[in-house]
Structure 1
Amino acid sequence: MKQIMRSLSAFLSTLSATGLFATAALADNSQFQGADPHAMVIGRELWIFPTGGPGGAWEADRFGAFSSANLKEWRSRGTLIQRDEIGWIGEDGAREHFLWAPAVATRAGKWYLYYSVGPQNPTPSRIGVAIADRPEGPYRDSGRPLVGKAEKDPKPFEAIDPMVFSDPRSGRIYLYAGGSAGARLRIWELAPDMVSIRREVTIQQPRRFTEGAFMHERNGTYYLSYSHGRWNADDYSVHYSTASSPTGPWHYRGEILGSDARHQGPGHHSFVQSPSGDWMIAYHRWDRQAGPAPFKGERQVAIDRVRYERDGRIARIAMTDGAASPIWPGP
């Protein structure tokens, strides 16, 4: 057994050196260590942009990206951008800063990386944006924060968890952000340059919203999904609301992903449609722990199938492992 483990360790080391690594545990559905995965189809591969660096671990000073053609082997795409490449990051006077919750969009041949910059306390969190010619970068920061707390804003707002959605019907581009302690969602329409704001849209607050908003459209229905609960506790879960437009008003539909007997705290997700037309959800989760919250250790990125009912509702999502886990690009 020791010889087998040494051989496996050497094999994984070789994969890492070549930019490839196997799914962490082939018996389950944990793709790799990480959090807040933004999933996109690029070519015929699934790309994931998570919180963390190019090694798949929590690194608060940089972002990495990963791609796979089969959900079994993942290729690290290297570092997208590092904290010391963001010139305005120290303007708030905070002693240290963290990067998390990236989102990626593309327009007119360019790629745009949106990201959260903390801490929230004692200084306000902010959202930045960087531009690249390729999805793997390198990304160049735009030179200023895209969103920060307005000095005269009477309501508390955490500028975190950005998500950009291009409306296929109107062609307008929307930025969704906010949440956590303030549990407040805000939406802006972006200018065509993708790095400046045209206007803020007044919205109704979605029911049970905490953070991590994601928007997708299917058959004319707009699905606003989001995380509810504490990020490091058993009540963290995914809920959703629907609307006839990307800015509401929202019709709350309920919880679609929550803790089960093996895994806890699933959330901060993204929806993606495979080249075969199947819908999937990428999210992070914790392996079930013996002790109470707050959970410790590292979160794992997982991917599961999404099924829609005949009336357009999203069926409750089952967290899978082993042979029950989805394949890419699907049947």
Structure 2
Amino acid sequence: MKKRHWFAAAAMALTLAGGALADNPQFQGADPHAMMIDGELWVFPTGGPGGSWAADRFGAFSSRDLKTWRNRGELIRRDQIRWIGDDGAPEHFLWAPGVATRDGKWFLYYSVGPQNPTPSRIGVAVADRPEGPYRDSGAPLVTGGQGFEAIDPMVFVDPKDNKAYLYAGGSAGSRLRVWEMTPDMIHVAREVPVDNPPEFTEGAFMHERGGIYYLSYSHGRFNGPDYSVHYATASSPTGPWKYRGAILTSDKHRKGPGHHSIVQAPDGRWLIVYHRWERPGSPPPFRGERQVAVDRLDYAPDGTIRRVTMTDARAPLLQPAH
């Protein structure tokens, strides 16, 4: 793959209003897993621009300037997952992907639901490139049940020892579980017991900065105004957690922000990529389509995360650091 330097491509925009200008909301979609790949921001969502979510496939989208998005094509379809019908449920949906990479391979983790009448499951597929095509591993990685909803997978590779951890769990029971992965990234080696963090509902995301491990996650009902992002910190990727509070909540016009990911831009600054209901215009439960947005994420000198301010179209994204 040719290197595409997203930050360099946006250099002209950086001279405007002190930073790059993000056209929020970016595009229709939900549950965005974001990564910087060769200097370009990639987003792996449920759905995507133009109402492309059919609940039976995943796609990817990338941008160099947070204005124009390139459709990276189809990653995998439901009919390519041979085990998906083994539970005998009458229908199945795909949502909430997570992506990781190791040793030149790319791994797509995804949720298969709904939770009823059979438990939800998490699958994993492998590719040689981030845009795929992905080949399913042949069996579920994790199956839900007994108060645990197996959705919203996220895999974090600890920079300290290169161990990989799978985080998953969702609204049916609002229970977080963590597993250490095998080196091949397609099996779990063992489950790691963890405490459930305060206000946890779903959508766990782990990142590390300056030796601090940040577990962030969504709280509340996905189609209500209480949906929000909270976080806790720890000295290891498996806790124990110190709850730090909410960092992204509804405002007057944008409701239910959540199911996010956190990435570091090539200039060292941090971004939060999330979905929200854009001026829903009706009382909850909100209906229609959620929108993906990108905003700045800032840290206080003590390492805590400052409250995120949601922005609209053409708002400055990258400002001088505090």
- TM-score > 0.5, shorter chain as reference: yes
Shift, 1:149, TM fit: 2.9
Calculate the aligned-residue CA RMSD, in Å. 1.6
Q: Distance in 2 between matches of 1:49 and 1:28?
A: 18
Q: Is the 8 A contact 1:46 1:68 kept in 2?
A: yes
Shift, 1:164, TM fit: 0.2
Shift, 1:322, TM fit: 3.0
| Cross-structure match for 1:32 | 27
Shift, 1:44, TM fit: 1.2
Q: Distance in 2 between matches of 1:28 and 1:318?
A: 15
| Cross-structure match for 2:246 | 255
Shift, 1:321, TM fit: 1.3
| Cross-structure match for 1:75 | 70
What is the aligned-residue identity percentage?
A: 71
Q: Distance in 2 between matches of 1:90 and 1:79?
A: 21
| Cross-structure match for 1:306 | 297
One of 168, 172, 176 as aligned partner of 1:185: 176
Question: Could you tell me which amino acid in structure 2 is paired with residue 138 of structure 1?
Answer: P
Q: Is the 8 A contact 1:175 1:190 kept in 2?
A: yes
Q: How many residues align?
A: 300
One of 52, 57, 60 as aligned partner of 1:62: 57
Q: Distance in 2 between matches of 1:181 and 1:162?
A: 15
Runs of 4+ in 1 over 4 A off after TM superposition: 53-56
**TM-score normalized by the length of structure 1:** 0.88
Matched, 1:164 2:155: yes
Q: Distance in 2 between matches of 1:27 and 1:144?
A: 40
Within-5 A mapping of 1:37-186: 37-52=32-47, 55=50, 57-149=52-144, 155-186=146-177
Q: Which moved more, 1:50-59 or 1:262-271?
A: 50-59
Q: Is the 8 A contact 2:27 2:48 kept in 1?
A: no
One of 246, 257, 262 as aligned partner of 1:271: 262
Within-5 A mapping of 1:200-239: 200-239=191-230
Q: Distance in 2 between matches of 1:171 and 1:221?
A: 16
Shift, 1:55, TM fit: 4.9
Shift, 1:326, TM fit: 1.5
Q: Distance in 2 between matches of 1:204 and 1:267?
A: 21
Question: Could you tell me which amino acid in structure 1 is paired with residue 244 of structure 2?
Answer: R
Q: Distance in 2 between matches of 1:216 and 1:27?
A: 23
Question: Could you tell me which amino acid in structure 2 is paired with residue 141 of structure 1?
Answer: D
Q: Is the 8 A contact 2:202 2:218 kept in 1?
A: yes
SS at match of 1:88: helix
Q: Distance in 2 between matches of 1:252 and 1:170?
A: 25
Q: Distance in 1 between matches of 2:125 and 2:190?
A: 20
Compared CA separation, residues 68 and 53, structure 1 to 2 (3 A): closer
Compare relative contact order (CA 8 Å, sep 6+) and give the higher one, 1 or 2: 2
| Cross-structure match for 2:11 | none
Shift, 1:61, TM fit: 0.2
Q: Is the 8 A contact 1:71 1:327 kept in 2?
A: no
Q: Is the 8 A contact 2:22 2:66 kept in 1?
A: no
One of 148, 165, 188 as aligned partner of 1:197: 188
Deviations 1:16-52 (A, max 9, x none): xxxxxxxxxx995111000000000010110000012
Q: Structure 1, unaligned stretches of length 5 or more?
A: 1-25
Matched, 1:282 2:266: no
Compared CA separation, residues 28 and 40, structure 1 to 2 (3 A): closer
Q: Distance in 1 between matches of 2:50 and 2:135?
A: 21
Compared CA separation, residues 192 and 258, structure 1 to 2 (3 A): same
**TM-score normalized by the length of structure 2:** 0.90
Q: Is the 8 A contact 2:23 2:67 kept in 1?
A: no
Q: Structure 2, unaligned stretches of length 5 or more?
A: 1-20
Question: Could you tell me which amino acid in structure 1 is paired with residue 117 of structure 2?
Answer: P
Q: Distance in 1 between matches of 2:224 and 2:170?
A: 16
